[in-house]
Structure 1
Amino acid sequence: MKPLEGLLVLEFAQFMAAPTAGLKLADLGARVIKIERPVKGEGGRQIAIKNLFVDGDSLVFHTINRNKESYAADLKNPEDLERVKKLIAQADVMTHNFRPGVMEKIGLDYEQAIKINPKLVYGIVTGYGNKGPWANKPGQDLLIQSLSGLTWLSGTSNHGPTPFGLATADMICGHHLTQGILAALIKRAKTQKSVLVEVSLLESILDLQFEVITSFLNDGNKLPQRGSENGTAHAYLSAPYGIYQTKDAYLALAMGNLLFIGETLGIDLSAYKHKESWFTEKDQITQLLANRIQEESTSYWTDLLNSKGIWCSPIFNYQELLSHEAYQVLGFDQELDLPNGEILKGTRSPIQINGEKLYSRKAAPKAGAETELINQQFNLI
């Protein structure tokens, strides 16, 4: 039995952040029902990465919405809205990511929802919070990355601002919403009262940067300076930390005693015996390391450095990683059974409960696929 079995979650959400939370809850055993527009469903069904679609919906929609059900309802239709309210009365959790004011117009904002269900855990995702000049600004991941300072942490000093190659704000915000909901469920169990959970994309991406923002706040408000093209983009870690080109590929070097690493590499770094210089002279040091490391192959360096207990690694792409025994032993692959009979390959939840991995073959639903079943099970008609 999964830990959240018996929990009913209603997801009035689209695209990525809030649905990511729904995915995590579903993986842990909750019954997650997406409340979607009839026929077309939520907007995320047509937002694709690499223009990949599977069985009429985007691949990324399938990725985020596996293991869920879909209930079709036009929230502007009084009859549909009344059925949805009956469903809310029986739910444990309700989430949405509409802009401020939308749910108030529908009559399903927190204050109205807890009149229907006084024990409801109500989760909201916004882009920038409910107040301030950005409250109604589109909460889109690239915009959040760009406004939050994050794009000045990737790349190197000779690059402009560089965004992550992932929907970082959406994903971390979804995890924060999950954490808040789980904490709220514990509080509700103690108080038997509703709990409001609110997260925003901006606050989530700022929290992800707490390490470097804290350094900024306590270091005279000095802006982070990314490293040179050799080594690392990390503004606050000393040499040798970073990635270096070898004779045939690349090598990652983590933290360690710089003088010992230099000795192992065959480089005289005695001029940098004071640890302070590992920070202040980082670019010069990483250039010396880069010149030496490119003379030999990656396997040569990993064999040598590992034998000395120095933290290092080759750089893998997905082909190399997924074919490696270290990945395969995880059992991280998962297959989903699509409604059209095809099989979709994906990945499982990273969580294990009592030694058991959390798998599910249930693919993302077609829009409204379970409407009739849910009407019957919850006596909505």
Structure 2
Amino acid sequence: MELPLKGIIVLEFCQYLSGPSAGLRLADLGARVIKIERPEIGEAGRSLSIKNLWVGSDSLLFHTINRNKESYTANLKNAEELAAIKQLIKHAHIITHNFRPGVMEKSGLGYEAVKAINPGIIYAEVSGYGKNGPWKDLPGQDLLIQAISGLTYTTGNANQSPIPFGISIADMICGEHLVQGILASLIRKAKKGVGAHIEVSLLESLLDFQFELLTTYFASNKQPERSLINNGNPLLSAPYGIYQTKDGYIAIAMVNLLQLAEAIESDALAKAAVKNPFEYRDDIKQICADHLLTNTSQHWLNKLHAIDLWAIEVLDWQKLTTLPAYQQLQIEQVIAIDEQQKIITTRCPIRINGERLLSNKSAPLLGADTEKIKQEFQIA
């Protein structure tokens, strides 16, 4: 299958997660992504390890998010090497970067300068908090963005401290927003022949992610409150949440309380079910929590599923990955680092005409493609 972005050249001036995650998805869709990196050091993500795991001299994190790319090294403070980059820009369709505001401009590679070299360029940039305003120079790090955006008040119970998501959710969502803007601009360019300047920020991505909560706040002028126990979503009534059982946990979504009471055979819940499930949310959840502790997860799931109530077991990765339903997805792929070393990671989740998008090309060694790219594009 010929991938939809085959022939598209992306120059990625990016580091860490948000920008590289966008490049990863573009590469999965067939684009040729060339990372522009500092000589000897490379982009900062090469040295940012997760769980102190490394693949050769680079972090495992770098390999998870930079597979299927090429690496071109250039010192942008060196006039000759900057001139070579400008020659390369003439051949590019897309440029991405996620440096702080002003960094690319100081290097002579801001949007206006690049547009003068390549008028049809799609120039896509990520910032932490936007390019203007009092926060523009704050560090755009995922945990900090989660904290300042209010997102940490959606997870955990009301009597707990603010709790962040256990993943770099701001980086991942912002990277996807960058890809959306790029793909939309590619369509417009195909129709009208014009380029685009795309701007996204981690903060705006997380604010958009919370549109339900913020819309509720705008309407009521009140912060949505987490439930005291078994919080699942601060906007939803009982019983929505995760409950401990005799041998594990189950998640219960939006269900009719009377049906739930009948399914789990709880007289206390049947009596409480006539009350307002928002006003008495914590009381109702406490009744459910106490009752569900008396038997196993599978026992309750059998009863709930028998009348089509929305509930499911809470799995860890060890159990999840052994199940036929997971294995049928074929979400894993093997990346060959060299003849001896391989890593397992996830594939692109998109299927096109029924085909999974797989790539077993590992992340590039620093500068591995510099000379080949210079020769290909006749760059002095």
Give your verdict on TM over 0.5: yes
The reply on whether 1:96 has 2:132 as its aligned counterpart is no
Q: Which residue of 1 aligns with 2:227?
A: 227
Deviation, structure 1 residue 326: 0.6
Which residues of 2 match residues 1-381 of structure 1 at below 5 A?
1-219=2-220, 221-229=221-229, 231-268=230-267, 269-274=269-274, 277-339=276-338, 341-381=340-380
State the identity as a percent.
52
* Distance in 2 (alpha carbons) for counterparts of 1:6 and 1:339: 27
User: Following superposition, which runs of at least 4 residues in structure 1 exceed 3 angstroms of deviation?
Assistant: 269-275
Deviates more, 1:233-242 or 1:25-34: 233-242
CA-to-aligned-CA distance 1:296-322 (integer Å, 9 cap, x gap)? 100111111111111111110000111
Secondary structure in 2 aligned to 1:280? coil
- The CA deviation at 1:104 is 1.1
Question: Is the CA contact (8 Å cut-off) linking 1:68 and 1:364 kept in structure 2?
Answer: yes
Q: Contact (CA 8 Å) 1:2, 1:28: kept in 2 or not?
A: yes
Distance 1:341 1:111 in 2: 46
Distance 1:356 1:233 in 2: 35
**Given residue 291 of structure 1, which amino acid in structure 2 is its aligned partner?**
D
What RMSD in Å do the two structures reach over aligned CA positions? 1.1
1 CA distance for matches of 2:318 and 2:45? 28
1:271, CA displacement in angstroms?
3.9
- Give how far 1:272 is off: 4.0
Provide, for residues 343-379 of structure 1, a one-character-per-residue CA deviation record: whole Å limited to 9, x for no partner: 1111100000111000001000011000011011111
Opposite residue 281 of structure 1, the aligned amino acid is Y
Counterpart contact for 2:262–2:270, Cα < 8 Å: no
Write the distance in 2 (CA, Å) between the matches of 1:322 and 1:238: 32
Q: Report the 3-state secondary structure (helix = DSSP H, G, I; strand = E; otherwise coil) of the residue aligned with 2:71.
A: strand
Residue identity opposite 1:157 in structure 2: A
> Equivalents in 2 of 1:181, 1:349: separation in Å?
18
Task: List per-residue Cα deviations over 1:154-175 (Å, max 9, x = no partner).
Answer: 1111210101110111110000
- Aligned partners of 1:337 and 1:101: how far apart in 2? 38
Between the aligned partners of 1:327 and 1:273, the Cα distance in structure 2 is 36
- Aligned partners of 2:339, 2:151: CA distance in 1, in Å? 41
Q: 2:243 is paired with a residue of what secondary structure?
A: strand
SS of corresponding position for 1:86: helix
Structure 1 residue 215 displacement after superposition:
0.8
Q: Which amino acid aligns with 2:324?
A: E
**1:264 positional shift:** 1.2
Question: Structure 2 unaligned runs (5+)?
Answer: none
**Residue 226 (structure 1) shift:** 0.7
Could you tell me how far apart the structure 1 residues matched to 2:339 and 2:371 are?
20
Which residue identity lines up with residue 253 of structure 1 in the other structure? I
Distance, in Å, in 2 between the alignment partners of 1:236 and 1:139 is 28
1:38 match: secondary structure:
coil
| Contiguous gaps of at least 5 residues in structure 1 | none
How many equivalent pairs are there?
378
- Code of the aligned partner of 2:79: P
Contact 1:55–1:340 at 8 Å: present in 2 too?
A: no
What SS is found at the alignment partner of 2:250? Answer: strand
SS at match of 1:124: strand
Distance 2:204 2:339 in 1: 40
CA distance in 2, matches of 1:214, 1:340: 53
Moved more, 331-340 or 43-52: 331-340
Q: CA shift at 1:270, angstroms?
A: 4.4
Please state how far the C-alpha of 1:339 moved relative to its aligned partner. 4.0
